Structure 1
Amino acid sequence: MMMLDVTFSGEGGNGFSMVKELSSTSCEWRMKVGGREVIIPKRGTKTFISTIGQLDERVELYKVTERIVNLELDDRAIMDLCMMASKLAYENAQVVKNVVVHHWKMHFVDFYNGWDDYQKENSTQVFMICDKPKDATLILISFRGTEPFNANNWNTDIDYSWYEIPKVGKLHMGFLEALGLGNREDIKTFRYHLQTEIVKKSDDGIGKINIRSLDMTAYHMVREKLRSLLEEHKNAKFIVTGHSLGGALAILFPIVLVIHEEKKLMERLLAVYTFGQPMVGNQQLGKFMEAHLDHPVPKYFRVVYCNDLVPRLPYDDKTFLYKHFGVCLYYNSCYIEQLMGLFGVINNGFFMENARLVLHLQGWMYLILVLVTISMIEGVTWKLLLNRKVVYLMKNRMEKRQSSTRYLMI
């Protein structure tokens, strides 16, 4: 291993040393600042955490006395697992495997990068786990959501293009593409992927379309692996979950299973839990899925927090006709749950002009709550830093105002 020491000096003699370690398996930069060592991890390793992971460092599950055995929809451990898995899906494969194996004590199955033929990249991430390697009772599928700084992900969320299937309804075209089920540049590809039996040849030429191997798409990779896992674990049921864009893919996955008449797989579906999920289709689609997700008991739950914008997209006015379905678990700004019921409607009033004052007040309330909470956790040192920052900002603003006043007087 090679060691390279470099010292940088700043004003007043302050400085820091940097050590670069090179080996055949890793390459990390280590900086020593004030006697403390800071490691900048290599992208793709188990120590490289995403922005989402940095904002919320929790990895441990809700503590239960026994391993998950009795699969109940209202079981707190199940819901906590779905929430944490939705957050974990933002990380790379090595981070996911490390958390699942060493923190959750579960069996890591695989991590997939699905092909999006419209974006021409492997942009759909999803991982699968079991509660144990043998005789598993639970299989979980978690789709990654909208990355904060990924323009393609946000473009998919706000896109309102749809593809209509007779007797089924209208489905969001961008989400279908994310699952690898078509390309809007050639509409025939959607028909190819969404027909009940995918054939190699057909009279109308659909089978002659040059489509990337089905083995590369998120939907087909997950479906085939799920089929083999359910055959291996006879008593297992599966849950699908995801946050934001991942939530849309989580509900779209069983929708396509129903379209493909995968009855044996759907019989083993325990639930679909989504968090901050955008709409995936119209009301006809919801009614089509009602028999598969609402009977004998509801299996599809959408968690929505207060004024989250994403669940209101694409906007469901008379033009776009997008509608939510399933059971909506709505939480207000005080984290009080309000059960909206089937086809629960979320108030879209914050799109109106007269709602701006309420939204601004809530925004200030959140800011104050965060500052108070951090000061309670971090203590006096953080309070001093915060006060210095506030004084600096106020002083800077006053100087700018004085400068502009002098300019006007001249």
Structure 2
Amino acid sequence: MSLLSKRLQAVRPSQTKAMTAKAAALREQGIDIVTLSQGEPDFDTPDAIRKAGIAAILGGRTRYTAVAGDKSLRDAIRQKLLRDNSLDYDIEQITVGCGAKQVVFNALFASLDSDDEVIIPTPCWVSYPDMVRLAGGNPVLVACHERCGFKLRPEELDAAITPRTKWLMLNSPNNPTGAVYSRAELAALAEVLRRHPQVHVLSDDIYEKLVYDVPFCTMADAAPDLFDRTLTVNGVSKSSAMTGWRLGYGAGPAYLVKAMNTIQGQTSSHTSSISQYAAIEAIAGDQGYVADFVTDFRRRRDLVVGKINAAPGLQCRVPDGAFYVFISCASVIGKTTSQGKVIETDMDFALYLLEQFGVAVVPGSGFMASPYIRISYASSLNDLERACARIQTACETLCENEKNHEQSKITA
């Protein structure tokens, strides 16, 4: 008899982590790999934030904090939400976790009973459906098509809601597509939600600061009457290049935040005290570096989009936010590699790029959308140039193989 739970058996390993690990293994064998699979800024954590962390260590601020987070950090978050998002929370409505991922999981675990439903627009971050399953709920995946900008439409939301629906999960800017919901689009979704008072909104705003030429808006601001039905989730990982510091936060109804703190108190307790004091600087200090990040990311985005759209068989939209390009590879499906293997899925294409051309990407199936691949452009321009050149060659090789195959049939 297996010791493992049935709940765990329904959960899949992250394809993002799996492709990054496979790339690392090949690199350890001495193979030149360009890794574009990891959702992590390549910038160093800004100097002022690092100094704040060092000061916390030297100042002996290394002991337990409140489970919900140090009061000074939660107050900085409260002021940030008011300043940037026009959202007015009490400090008891704010909780800090070991990354935004833990905040999301705590909310789901605190609120879902068996067979409760969570609507997740796809393409979506790889962890959302499995976190819902681990919490005992059922993910309801709603496909958002490229022709609609990969964004959920009101009629699609309305059709997906049932009496069992407890949450709508929204991620804007979106991982993996870079789609950003406008205030008007959020307001249109809110019109549907007003007819279904049992449905709450989990708004994952982790890429909030990384937008290009479009304004950011979050649901609780776009629809103030849904404020008490919304959990706003954010963090410092992406905007302040602090992925390894593991600090995210959530703000929402006091009863929900209290329940989330109970779960966190019985699992991880609080996140690192050092990370918390560094995050105060990240949230309340000078954030001029963010504009520099966005400028660099925009330059990289434009490079990748141009190169990818020039590669035969690939096409992509220009993303409005985050640091990903979501690429349709539908036109390479069915083509044959030089080794005689048919590319049948986006996973096949991702493995083809990795194993034969040394480029690590993530197949769209990991994000509940096929046939696509995701590229992270949070890498140096040099690495992006190298990777795109290899992808171009990979696609040209597939086209050449097809041409030769057709020619051989004619002459046979």
Q: Say whether the fold is shared (TM-score over 0.5).
A: no
Given the two structures, how large is their TM-score scaled by the length of structure 2? 0.28
The structure with the largest helix share of the pair is 2
Higher RCO (CA-CA < 8 Å; seq separation 6+) = 2
| Rg comparison, structure with higher value | 1
- Structure 1 length-normalised TM: 0.28
